[in-house]
Amino acid sequence: MTTETVVSGAAGGLEAALPTTLFRFATAGSVDDGKSTLVGRLLHDSKAILADQLDAVARTSADRGFGGEKGGIDLALLTDGLRAEREQGITIDVAYRYFATDRRSFILADCPGHVQYTKNTVTGASTADAVVVLIDARKGVLEQTRRHLSVLQLLRVAHVIVAVNKIDLVDFSESVFRGIEADVQQVGRELGLGSDGISDLLVVPVSALDGDNVVERSERTPWYTGPALLEVLETLPAADELESHLESFRFPVQLVIRPQGALAPDAVAAGLDVEAYRDYRAYAGQITEGSVKVGDQVSVLTPGQDPRTTTVVGIDFAGASLEEAAAPQSVAIRLADEFDVARGDTIAAAGTVREASADLYAALCWLSPKPLREGQKVLVKHGTRTVQAMVRSVSGKLDLSTFKLEGASNLELNDIGHAQLRLAAPLPLENYLHHRRTGAFLVIDPLDGNTLAAGLVKDHPGDHEDERYSI
Amino acid sequence: MSTYLSEETQVTDAAVSTRLSSLDTLESEAIHIIREVVAEFEKPALLFSGGKDSVVMLHLATKAFWPGKVPFPVLHVDTGHNFPEVIEFRDRTVERLGLKLVVGSVQEFIDRGELAERADGTRNPLQTVPLLDAIQQNKFDAVFGGGRRDEDKARAKERILSLRDEFGQWDPRNQRPELWNLYNGRHTVGQHVRAFPISNWTELDIWRYIERENIELPGLYYAHEREVFARDGMWRAVGEVSQPRPDEEVITKTVRYRTVGDMSCTGAVESNAFTVSDVVVEVAASTLTERGATRADDRISEAAMEDRKKDGYF
């Protein structure tokens, strides 16, 4: 077997290629829509598969008689993971893959569609800049497609790309593709996906098996004038490009850096002024939204206290002093006033945060086999703070195929529903619709510590509720 | 870190008007995870072998807590077959950063009869027992590792915070969903968590970062002359625990190591990459994975890593 040698962007083009930016995307699909083949094709054609991996797959393909006498490689095997998955021919869990082009480094969350698809799709979509949803061109939009799109709309994924796969099996028919495209856009309109000013919805005809429109545009679909899938992924703006300049500064404090004389010996050896750092105190964290500059007015939000306003006097990062910093940078912030600030507090741009609340209205994606009941005690992790909470009521669950809310008093695995929780301490909650980080939280089981649900903060009833968010 | 500034303000180009580079994004993500674990666990430790991934991990930890000290000890599981220059590097690094070093010794377990030498002489799989023993003895509730998801298909399914039961076992079918950047490290008595802050880095990211940050590594990562012999399609160094059989010819070659593990199972590759930038170019152009090229222990079967991980391996 021949193998190609050089990863694209390597060696000769290396200098020109740096620095690349990161783009995270996830794939979601139904059973047998060829998702593994598509992922294998993307990895193979972008030269992310190395010779020893390809050899192993070629041997297995031959053992299983793939491609008949002609031979050939079953690209789906490239994404095979665990022994149990190979034995049962299924995919159990989200797997992460890595590849790069000259423009971008990609992190791909490969989400299986078989079991627990909601759990896997929610997990993959929570960090994704884009999600690729697969449809079999012979089958068109299925109920599971509607469910996937519904979850992606709820999680506010910026870019949804529907890949209409196996276009070779419908003889590269434009009319078949246009029909599916129209159905997808219709579902998008029902959901507000692609027409809400937040997300966009693209449809691309592909053959993962043969590579049409995956990395290169295909001559076999002359009626399709749009970009190939990889071109789309290379050029879409990442979520933080779309968001950071629009959002106000938010910074959950992870810990306080206060060495009190216990300075790093290597820093001291490199000439750190020990006296100047004797009273050093800075708040370490990752900027979740927006940006901050030295001299900015900020509020420190501590549960149960009124916001305290002060000035940023320093933004430090490992020996460098920055003038400004933006999401998603990890930094340490120094403030003008010596407040008592601790883990779990949030530093935010002054005057941009509404009052903290102990009443939490939310959409919950239930990810545990243990059902949610009214009256149940749980833990809520929001930012860097974990508080106790009680489930006051479940107000309904979503029918993902009709997008209607149905009455329900409990939630089970893979359900998405609405609930009201009472928190033991007020949190600076923000609507997930506009705050993909500060509007997100985890529901945790206090007994065994397992994650029960992904939570999305909704506005309080009576506040100005955004129509688009009421599903 | 090349410079430490105290009073002067330095304006860096990183940030704000342009998007962070992928290396800066990965660095910020790793530092966020390291800080979360330190804030939420009683007694973390960092696995430190002197290998490049653990060296990068330690470098990230120094940046996360600057100007304070790294607030946890480092843990090394010594197979007794390590390269002497790597042990020397380990000790020097620990000294430089003022860290506490905890060593779990495979040799001691063998001497006490609690572990048996394998027929193939490989000691990498034997590290699990001393590792779990050290975790238990020292009551570590979180252990940082330099594992990366691009290394292996079992690691591709690993969580950033990965729960281990009383026996140190990994249960890939029953993992917690990991959502947004909210990490759930809750565990019960007897359980511990493995934390992998550089999960999302590739081998090439590691090398570009080593180059950018000017991080020192053991010399055997760079091309040097060494007496080697061919075995299992790899170049093996001649050493105390790695002797050629009569039919294996010893020759001197210019080689380097892509991974640094146990001498009995780690192979060298022919290379003229004498500097870090040479290595970046070489890795970018490589047609073999680092484990496929250099690790006998991962060639045992398709599921070698998966099986070791389920038993509590790194």
ipTM of the complex: 0.91
The answer on pLDDT for A11 being more than 50 is no
3-state secondary structure of A447: coil
Strand partners, A84: none
> How far apart are alpha carbons B153 and A96 in whole angstroms?
9
Question: Of A51-60, A160-169, B108-117, where does the model show the most confidence?
Answer: A160-169
DSSP B76: E
> Among A75-79, A260-264, A268-272, A379-383, which stretch is predicted with the lowest mean pLDDT?
A75-79
Query: How many Å separate Cα B31 from the centre of its chain?
Result: 17
Look at residue A92 in the predicted model and tell me its pLDDT.
66
Adjacency order of strands within the sheet including A21-28: A95-100, A104-110, A21-28, A130-136, A159-165, A200-205
For chain B positions 209-268, those within 8 Å of chain A (CB to CB) are none
Strand partners, A357: A427
Look at residue A451 in the predicted model and tell me its pLDDT.
96
CB contact under 8 A, A82 and B154: yes
Identify which has the larger pLDDT, A398 or A55: A398
Amino acid at A35: K
Burial of A75 (0-12, 13-18, 19+ CB in 10 A): buried
Amino acid at A422: R
The answer on pLDDT for A467 being more than 50 is no
Closest by Cβ to B156, choosing from A6, A96, A276:
A96
For chain B positions 176-215, those within 8 Å of chain A (CB to CB) are 176-182, 184, 186-188, 199-200, 202, 204-205, 208
CB contact under 8 A, A238 and B289: no
Identify which has the larger pLDDT, A8 or A455: A455
CB A136 within 8 A of CB A108: no
Identify which has the larger pLDDT, A435 or A19: A435
Look at residue B98 in the predicted model and tell me its pLDDT.
95
Could you tell me which residues come within 8 angstroms of residue B77 by beta carbon, excluding any fewer than 6 positions away? Answer: B47, B49, B103, B104, B105, B106, B127, B130, B131, B134
Identify which has the larger pLDDT, A195 or B250: B250
Look at residue B209 in the predicted model and tell me its pLDDT.
97
Mutation for testing the A interface, residue in B160, B178, B287, B307 having most A CBs under 10 Å: B287
> How far apart are alpha carbons B314 and B308 in whole angstroms?
8
Residue B110 Cα, gap to closest chain A Cα (Å): 30
Q: What are A70-80's pLDDT values in tens digits?
A: 456 777 776 66
The answer on pLDDT for A470 being more than 70 is no
The beta strands (E) that lie in A246-329 are given as 250-252, 255-257, 282-286, 291-293, 297-301, 308-317, 320-322, 324-326
Residue B104 Cα, gap to closest chain A Cα (Å): 25
Give the chain B residue whose CA is nearest to the CA of A82: B154
Q: What pTM value is reported for the model?
A: 0.90
> How far apart are alpha carbons A35 and A31 in whole angstroms?
9
> Could you tell me whether strands B224-231 and B251-256 are parallel, antiparallel, or unpaired per DSSP bridges?
antiparallel
User: Measured between beta carbons, which residues in chain B are less than 8 angstroms from residue A329?
Assistant: 14-15, 20, 24, 28
CB A108 within 8 A of CB A96: yes
DSSP B268: B
Closest by Cβ to A255, choosing from B10, B39, B184:
B39
User: Measured between beta carbons, which residues in chain A are less than 8 angstroms from residue B287?
Assistant: 3, 5, 50-51
Look at residue A286 in the predicted model and tell me its pLDDT.
97
Spell out the per-residue pLDDT of chain B, length 314, in tens: 333 333 333 333 333 346 889 999 999 999 999 999 999 999 999 999 999 999 999 999 999 999 999 999 999 999 888 888 999 999 999 999 999 999 998 888 888 888 888 877 778 788 888 899 999 999 999 999 999 998 887 888 889 999 998 888 888 777 899 999 999 999 988 899 999 999 999 999 999 999 999 999 999 999 999 999 998 878 888 887 788 999 999 999 999 998 887 777 788 889 999 999 999 998 888 767 676 666 655 554 556 667 767 777 76
3-state secondary structure of A44: helix
Look at residue A15 in the predicted model and tell me its pLDDT.
42
CB contact under 8 A, B15 and A291: yes
Say how many CA atoms lie within 13 Å of A188 toward its Cβ: 23
Q: What are A213-245's pLDDT values in tens digits?
A: 999 999 999 999 999 999 999 999 988 777 656
Query: How many Å separate Cα A194 from the centre of its chain?
Result: 17
Query: How much is the mean pLDDT over chain A?
Result: 86
Percent of chain A with pLDDT over 90: 57
CB contact under 8 A, B67 and A280: yes
Look at residue A2 in the predicted model and tell me its pLDDT.
34
The answer on pLDDT for A183 being more than 50 is yes
Structure tokens, A438: 């500060």
Backbone angles phi and psi of B223, in degrees to 5: -60, 135
Can you say whether the dihedral through the CA atoms of A327, A329, A330, A331 is positive or negative? negative
Give the chain A residue whose CA is nearest to the CA of B203: A98
Look at residue A257 in the predicted model and tell me its pLDDT.
96
CB contact under 8 A, A264 and B98: yes
Amino acid at A321: S
> How far apart are alpha carbons B194 and B314 in whole angstroms?
8
